[in-house]
Amino acid sequence: MKIVLDIRTFETWILVFFRVGGILLFAPILGPKGTPWILKVTLAALITVLIAPFVPQQSVALELSPLLQRMAREAAIGMVLGFTVHLVFGAVQTAGQMIGYQMGFSMVNLLDPQGEYPIPIISHFITMLAVLIFLDLNGHHWYLRSILKSYELIGPEGPSLGKDVGWELLRGGTMLFQAAVKIAAPLMVLTFLFYVAMALVARAMPQMNVFIVSLPLQVGLGLIGLGLSLPFMAAFIRGLFGGLKGELGLLLRMMGG
C-alpha cells in the first residue's frame, strides 16, 4: 500500500511540473526566450514543490501511453494560461511600436530578448513599465493561484480544449490590437496634429526645409507627450491587468466544461 501511495505522489508531482512548465513556456516575465533552459527547469521544479502538496493525488497510470497523454494535457493547460497573460504584454509592446514609429524612432531599435527580433526603444520602455505594474499588482502570484484553481475547476478527465476555448483565445487576440490602439492613441493624435501643422507651415513658407526642421521637433514633442500621458497610460495598463483575473477564470471554467 505504501508503494502505491508513493507512485501516486510521484505521478502527481510530474503532472504538476508539466502544467507549470507549460505556463513558463509562454509567460512573458517568468520564462522569456532569453532565459536559460536550466533556469526555467529549476524555477518550474521550485514552483512544483510549492504547489504539489496541495494538489489532489491522481490515479496511477500503469502504462506509458496514458501517462504521456496526461502530461500533454497538463502542458496544454499551462500554455493556455501563460499565453493569455502574454497577450496583454503583446498589446503593450504593439502600442510601444506604434508610438516609436510616430515619434520617428523607427530606426532606433533594440533586440527584444523575448521575441528575438528588433523593436523600437520606446516599446522597450513601455514594456518595462508594464512589467513593473504587473509586479506591483502581484501578478506573478496569479500564476500560482490559477494553477491551484485549475485543479478545482478541471476534473481528472482533463481539460476540454474545444472551440469555445479557441474562440476565447481568438477574441483575446482581437482585443490585443484594440488595447494597443487605445494605449497609443494620445501620442498618435498628437503627432497627427503636428504633421498637419507642419504641412500648413510648408504651404505658407515654401522656402523653409520643413523636413529638416520637423525631425527634432517631432522627437521633442513626442517625448513631452509621452511624459504627460504616462499616468493615464499606466492606469490603462493597470486596468488591463485587473481584467486578467476574470479572463483566466473564464478560460479555466471553459476547459473544465
- What would the grid cell of residue 68 be? 504521456
Look-up: residue for cell 509592446? Answer: 93
- Burial of residue 110, with CB atoms counted within 10 A of its CB: 0-12 exposed, 13-18 middle, 19 or more buried: exposed
Radius of gyration (C-alpha) of the chain in whole angstroms = 23
- What would the grid cell of residue 66 be? 496514458
Q: How far apart are CA 96 and CA 188, in angstroms?
A: 11
Q: How far apart are CA 159 and CA 153, in angstroms?
A: 9
Partners of 120 in beta bridges:
109
- At 94, the pLDDT band (50, 70, 90 cuts) reads confident
Higher pLDDT, 111 or 210: 210
CA-to-CA dists, residue 106 to 78, 136, 164, angstroms: 35, 30, 38
- What would the pLDDT profile of 210-226 be if each residue is shown by its tens digit? 777 777 888 888 888 88
Q: Is the dihedral of CA 63, 7, 42, 143 positive or negative?
A: positive
> Which secondary-structure segment (H or E) carries 126?
helix 121-136
**22: CB partners within 8 A, 6+ apart:** 74, 75, 76, 77, 78, 79, 80, 81, 82
- Identify residue 63 by its one-letter amino acid code: E
- What would the pLDDT profile of 4-21 be if each residue is shown by its tens digit? 446 777 777 888 888 888
- What would the grid cell of residue 4 be? 502505491
- Span 157-169, average pLDDT: 68
Q: How far apart are CA 97 and CA 108, in angstroms?
A: 11
Report whether 61 contacts 11 (CB < 8 A).
yes
pLDDT at 3 over 50: no
pLDDT at 31 over 60: no
- What would the pLDDT profile of 113-148 be if each residue is shown by its tens digit? 555 556 777 888 888 888 888 888 887 777 778 777
Q: How far apart are CA 169 and CA 103, in angstroms?
A: 32
- Which of 31-35, 60-64, 115-119 has the least mean pLDDT? 60-64
Decide: pTM greater than 0.85.
no
Domain extent listing, the chain: 76-255
- What would the grid cell of residue 67 be? 501517462
> Which secondary-structure segment (H or E) carries 112?
none
pLDDT at 171 over 50: yes
